[in-house]
Protein backbone atom coordinates (compact mmCIF):
# COMPACT_ATOMS: atom_id res chain seq x y z
CA UNK A 1 0.00 0.00 0.00
CA UNK A 2 1.14 3.55 -0.77
CA UNK A 3 2.00 6.16 1.86
CA UNK A 4 -0.77 6.32 4.39
CA UNK A 5 -3.17 4.46 2.10
CA UNK A 6 -5.30 1.68 3.54
CA UNK A 7 -5.01 -1.66 1.76
CA UNK A 8 -8.51 -3.05 1.16
CA UNK A 9 -8.79 -6.60 -0.13
CA UNK A 10 -11.98 -7.83 -1.76
CA UNK A 11 -12.38 -11.62 -1.72
CA UNK A 12 -15.09 -12.43 -4.24
CA UNK A 13 -16.62 -15.08 -6.48
CA UNK A 14 -18.64 -14.18 -9.58
CA UNK A 15 -21.42 -16.60 -8.57
CA UNK A 16 -22.24 -14.25 -5.67
CA UNK A 17 -24.51 -11.32 -6.59
CA UNK A 18 -23.68 -9.49 -3.34
CA UNK A 19 -20.02 -9.70 -4.36
CA UNK A 20 -20.92 -7.80 -7.52
CA UNK A 21 -22.45 -4.98 -5.47
CA UNK A 22 -19.42 -4.72 -3.18
CA UNK A 23 -17.10 -4.84 -6.21
CA UNK A 24 -18.85 -1.96 -7.99
CA UNK A 25 -19.10 0.21 -4.87
CA UNK A 26 -15.42 -0.30 -4.01
CA UNK A 27 -14.46 0.40 -7.63
CA UNK A 28 -16.34 3.71 -7.39
CA UNK A 29 -14.75 4.64 -4.06
CA UNK A 30 -11.19 3.55 -4.74
CA UNK A 31 -10.30 7.02 -6.03
CA UNK A 32 -12.43 8.93 -3.51
CA UNK A 33 -11.24 7.15 -0.38
CA UNK A 34 -7.57 6.89 0.49
CA UNK A 35 -7.40 3.16 -0.27
CA UNK A 36 -5.46 0.70 -2.39
CA UNK A 37 -8.06 -1.78 -3.62
CA UNK A 38 -6.86 -5.30 -4.25
CA UNK A 39 -9.09 -7.86 -5.98
CA UNK A 40 -8.75 -11.37 -4.56
CA UNK A 41 -10.63 -13.90 -6.71
CA UNK A 42 -11.50 -16.87 -4.46
CA UNK A 43 -13.84 -19.87 -4.50
CA UNK A 44 -17.07 -19.34 -2.58
CA UNK A 45 -18.05 -23.02 -2.39
CA UNK A 46 -14.68 -23.75 -0.79
CA UNK A 47 -15.19 -21.04 1.83
CA UNK A 48 -18.72 -22.23 2.62
CA UNK A 49 -17.61 -25.83 2.92
CA UNK A 50 -14.60 -25.10 5.14
CA UNK A 51 -16.57 -22.72 7.35
CA UNK A 52 -19.52 -25.11 7.65
CA UNK A 53 -21.85 -22.53 6.10
CA UNK A 54 -24.83 -23.23 3.82
CA UNK A 55 -26.07 -21.15 0.87
CA UNK A 56 -28.84 -18.78 2.06
CA UNK A 57 -30.97 -20.03 -0.83
CA UNK A 58 -31.26 -23.43 0.89
CA UNK A 59 -33.53 -21.91 3.53
CA UNK A 60 -36.79 -21.10 1.67
CA UNK A 61 -37.67 -17.98 3.69
CA UNK A 62 -34.17 -16.68 3.30
CA UNK A 63 -34.23 -17.46 -0.41
CA UNK A 64 -37.43 -15.40 -0.82
CA UNK A 65 -35.87 -12.52 1.10
CA UNK A 66 -32.67 -12.73 -0.96
CA UNK A 67 -34.57 -12.11 -4.20
CA UNK A 68 -36.39 -9.04 -2.79
CA UNK A 69 -33.27 -7.75 -1.08
CA UNK A 70 -31.15 -8.03 -4.24
CA UNK A 71 -33.77 -6.13 -6.25
CA UNK A 72 -33.67 -3.26 -3.76
CA UNK A 73 -29.88 -3.30 -3.47
CA UNK A 74 -29.38 -3.43 -7.24
CA UNK A 75 -31.63 -0.41 -7.67
CA UNK A 76 -29.96 1.47 -4.82
CA UNK A 77 -26.42 0.85 -6.06
CA UNK A 78 -27.43 1.06 -9.73
CA UNK A 79 -25.89 -2.28 -10.66
CA UNK A 80 -27.81 -4.27 -13.32
CA UNK A 81 -28.43 -7.43 -11.28
CA UNK A 82 -31.63 -9.10 -12.50
CA UNK A 83 -32.71 -11.80 -10.10
CA UNK A 84 -34.39 -14.71 -11.89
CA UNK A 85 -37.46 -16.14 -10.16
CA UNK A 86 -35.51 -19.35 -9.58
CA UNK A 87 -32.43 -17.55 -8.23
CA UNK A 88 -31.69 -20.41 -5.84
CA UNK A 89 -31.49 -22.93 -8.68
CA UNK A 90 -29.51 -20.44 -10.74
CA UNK A 91 -26.80 -20.42 -8.06
CA UNK A 92 -27.01 -24.01 -6.81
CA UNK A 93 -27.09 -25.42 -10.35
CA UNK A 94 -23.84 -23.76 -11.44
CA UNK A 95 -20.22 -24.28 -10.47
CA UNK A 96 -18.05 -21.18 -10.62
CA UNK A 97 -14.82 -23.16 -10.33
CA UNK A 98 -13.83 -22.92 -14.02
CA UNK A 99 -14.66 -19.19 -14.12
CA UNK A 100 -12.71 -18.43 -10.95
CA UNK A 101 -9.71 -20.41 -12.21
CA UNK A 102 -9.81 -18.45 -15.46
CA UNK A 103 -10.03 -15.15 -13.55
CA UNK A 104 -7.11 -16.32 -11.38
CA UNK A 105 -5.05 -17.11 -14.49
CA UNK A 106 -5.64 -13.55 -15.71
CA UNK A 107 -4.80 -12.19 -12.25
CA UNK A 108 -1.44 -13.98 -12.50
CA UNK A 109 -0.64 -12.94 -16.09
CA UNK A 110 -2.49 -9.71 -17.01
CA UNK A 111 -3.98 -8.23 -13.82
CA UNK A 112 -5.05 -5.03 -15.60
CA UNK A 113 -7.92 -7.09 -17.10
CA UNK A 114 -9.11 -8.34 -13.72
CA UNK A 115 -11.70 -5.61 -13.18
CA UNK A 116 -13.39 -5.65 -16.64
CA UNK A 117 -13.22 -9.45 -16.83
CA UNK A 118 -14.83 -10.01 -13.42
CA UNK A 119 -17.53 -7.47 -14.28
CA UNK A 120 -18.34 -9.29 -17.53
CA UNK A 121 -18.74 -12.61 -15.71
CA UNK A 122 -21.30 -11.01 -13.37
CA UNK A 123 -23.02 -9.32 -16.34
CA UNK A 124 -23.35 -12.61 -18.18
CA UNK A 125 -24.52 -14.63 -15.18
CA UNK A 126 -26.56 -12.11 -13.20
CA UNK A 127 -27.81 -9.75 -15.90
CA UNK A 128 -28.21 -12.06 -18.90
CA UNK A 129 -28.69 -15.36 -16.99
CA UNK A 130 -26.30 -17.21 -19.27
CA UNK A 131 -23.88 -20.00 -18.54
CA UNK A 132 -20.37 -19.22 -17.22
CA UNK A 133 -19.14 -22.77 -16.62
CA UNK A 134 -18.33 -24.00 -20.15
CA UNK A 135 -15.05 -23.10 -21.93
CA UNK A 136 -16.79 -21.50 -24.93
CA UNK A 137 -18.83 -19.25 -22.62
CA UNK A 138 -15.74 -18.31 -20.61
CA UNK A 139 -14.02 -17.32 -23.87
CA UNK A 140 -17.06 -15.26 -24.89
CA UNK A 141 -16.89 -13.38 -21.56
CA UNK A 142 -13.17 -12.75 -22.05
CA UNK A 143 -13.80 -11.39 -25.57
CA UNK A 144 -16.49 -9.10 -24.18
CA UNK A 145 -14.00 -7.82 -21.58
CA UNK A 146 -11.53 -6.87 -24.30
CA UNK A 147 -9.07 -9.75 -24.03
CA UNK A 148 -7.44 -10.95 -27.26
CA UNK A 149 -8.28 -14.44 -28.52
CA UNK A 150 -4.64 -15.41 -27.96
CA UNK A 151 -4.57 -14.23 -24.34
CA UNK A 152 -7.95 -15.84 -23.59
CA UNK A 153 -6.84 -19.17 -25.02
CA UNK A 154 -3.60 -19.03 -23.03
CA UNK A 155 -5.51 -18.25 -19.80
CA UNK A 156 -7.94 -21.09 -20.49
CA UNK A 157 -5.05 -23.53 -20.85
CA UNK A 158 -3.40 -22.15 -17.70
CA UNK A 159 -6.67 -22.62 -15.79
CA UNK A 160 -6.05 -26.34 -15.39
CA UNK A 161 -2.39 -25.94 -14.36
CA UNK A 162 -1.35 -26.77 -10.78
CA UNK A 163 -0.01 -23.20 -10.37
CA UNK A 164 -3.42 -21.62 -11.02
CA UNK A 165 -5.37 -24.25 -9.07
CA UNK A 166 -3.06 -23.76 -6.09
CA UNK A 167 -3.25 -19.97 -6.32
CA UNK A 168 -7.07 -20.12 -6.14
CA UNK A 169 -6.89 -22.57 -3.22
CA UNK A 170 -4.39 -20.34 -1.41
CA UNK A 171 -6.51 -17.20 -1.87
CA UNK A 172 -9.57 -19.09 -0.61
CA UNK A 173 -7.56 -20.30 2.41
CA UNK A 174 -6.44 -16.73 3.07
CA UNK A 175 -10.05 -15.52 3.14
CA UNK A 176 -10.82 -18.24 5.70
CA UNK A 177 -7.77 -17.23 7.75
CA UNK A 178 -9.25 -13.71 8.02
CA UNK A 179 -12.46 -15.26 9.33
CA UNK A 180 -14.56 -15.34 6.13
CA UNK A 181 -17.59 -17.64 6.08
CA UNK A 182 -19.13 -16.33 2.85
CA UNK A 183 -18.63 -13.65 0.20
CA UNK A 184 -17.98 -10.86 -0.41
CA UNK A 185 -15.37 -10.74 2.33
CA UNK A 186 -13.74 -7.32 2.53
CA UNK A 187 -10.57 -7.01 4.58
CA UNK A 188 -9.24 -3.55 5.48
CA UNK A 189 -5.69 -3.43 6.83
CA UNK A 190 -5.89 -0.51 9.19
CA UNK A 191 -3.98 0.43 12.32
CA UNK A 192 -1.78 -2.63 12.04
CA UNK A 193 -4.58 -5.17 11.93
CA UNK A 194 -7.01 -6.74 9.47
CA UNK A 195 -10.69 -5.81 9.80
CA UNK A 196 -13.13 -8.23 8.15
CA UNK A 197 -16.47 -7.00 6.77
CA UNK A 198 -18.95 -9.51 5.38
CA UNK A 199 -21.42 -8.60 2.64
CA UNK A 200 -22.10 -5.52 0.58
CA UNK A 201 -24.03 -3.66 3.29
CA UNK A 202 -21.11 -2.90 5.62
CA UNK A 203 -19.24 -0.52 3.34
CA UNK A 204 -20.29 2.64 5.25
CA UNK A 205 -18.93 0.98 8.39
CA UNK A 206 -15.70 0.12 6.57
CA UNK A 207 -15.37 3.79 5.55
CA UNK A 208 -16.00 4.94 9.09
CA UNK A 209 -13.39 2.61 10.60
CA UNK A 210 -10.64 3.69 8.18
CA UNK A 211 -11.49 7.36 8.79
CA UNK A 212 -13.38 8.07 5.55
Distance CA 45, CA 131 (A): 17
CB hemisphere CA count around 183 (13 angstroms): 28
Domains along the sequence of the chain with CATH: 6-210 (3.40.30.10)
Q: What is the mean pLDDT of residues 169-185?
A: 97
Q: What is the structure's pLDDT at 3?
A: 60
Q: What is the pLDDT of residues 111-144, one digit of tens each?
A: 999 999 999 999 999 999 999 999 999 999 999 9
Residue positions annotated with a catalytic role: 16
Q: What is the structure's pLDDT at 62?
A: 84
Report which secondary-structure segment, H or E, holds 59.
none
* DSSP per-residue codes, 137-192: HHHHHHHHTT--HHHHHHHHHHTTSHHHHHHHHHHHHHHHHTT-SSS-EEEEEETT
Least confident of 52-66, 124-138, 183-197: 52-66
Q: What is the pLDDT of residues 61-113, one digit of tens each?
A: 888 888 899 999 999 999 999 988 777 778 888 999 999 999 999 999 999 99
What pTM, to 2 d.p., does this model score?
0.95
Decide: 141 and 132 in contact? Cβ < 8 Å: yes
**CA 174, 190, 34 angle in degrees (round to 5)?**
110
Q: What is the mean pLDDT of residues 43-61?
A: 87
Amino acid sequence: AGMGRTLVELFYDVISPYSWLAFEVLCRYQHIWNIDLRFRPAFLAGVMQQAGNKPPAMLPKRGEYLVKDMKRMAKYYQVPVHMPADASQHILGTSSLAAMRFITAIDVTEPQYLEPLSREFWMRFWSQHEDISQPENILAVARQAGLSAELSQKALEMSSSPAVKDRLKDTTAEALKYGAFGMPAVVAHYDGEPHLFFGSDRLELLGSIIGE
